[in-house]
Amino acid sequence: MAWKDSSFYSILNTKCPRCHEGDMFPKGTLYNVSKFAEMNEKCSCCGQYFEPETGYYYGAMFVSYGFSTAIFIGVWILLSMLVEEVTLPMMIVALIVSVIALLPINFRLSRSIWIHIFIRYKGPCTLENNKS
């Protein structure tokens, strides 16, 4: 199996879950404050809709919550290693900064994981049977 066929590749690169080719998000907008949450309507390659129904990404909040917990633990471990005595205000500032800094990545990866759970890979969109 080629690396491009793996869901891991597709999730990390926020590619279309069905063909792993089209982009879920417009290129170059990850760290654009007003645009990071914008999604392409459908896959430019196979036509898969990225928001099949309203409220589709409600459940992605739980994935996002998992990431936030991981960030929390990561910040805590890092601070404990760097600073002799970690104080609460220090912890809170470090958390707020890292959560905000990682927000676009967290947001996109959560949605990417969520849609990949429900939509299966059907091979490259160049295949005739994978056009919609």
For Zn ion, the binding residues (CB under 5 A) are 16, 18-19, 22, 43, 45-46, 48
CA 110/CA 59 separation, integer angstroms: 9
Is residue 81 classed as helix, strand or coil in its secondary structure?
A: helix
Between 80 and 132, name the residue whose CB sits nearer to Zn ion.
132
Whose Cβ is closer to Zn ion: residue 16's or residue 75's? 16
Strand, coil or helix: 7: helix
Pick the closer one to Zn ion by CB: 46 or 109: 46
3-class DSSP state for residue 49? Answer: strand
CA distance 64 to 70: 10
Smallest distance from Zn ion to CB 85, Å: 51
For the bound state, the minimum distance from the C-beta of residue 130 to Zn ion, rounded and expressed in Å, comes to 8
- Taking the complex as a whole, how short is the minimal distance between the CB of residue 108 and Zn ion, in angstroms? 17
**Please, what is the minimum distance in Å from the beta carbon of residue 52 to Zn ion?**
13
> In this structure, is the dihedral angle defined by the CA atoms of residues 61, 121, 130 and 2, taken in order, positive or negative?
positive
**Residue whose CB is less far from Zn ion, 69 or 132:** 132
Q: What are phi and psi of 23, to 5 degrees?
A: -90, 135
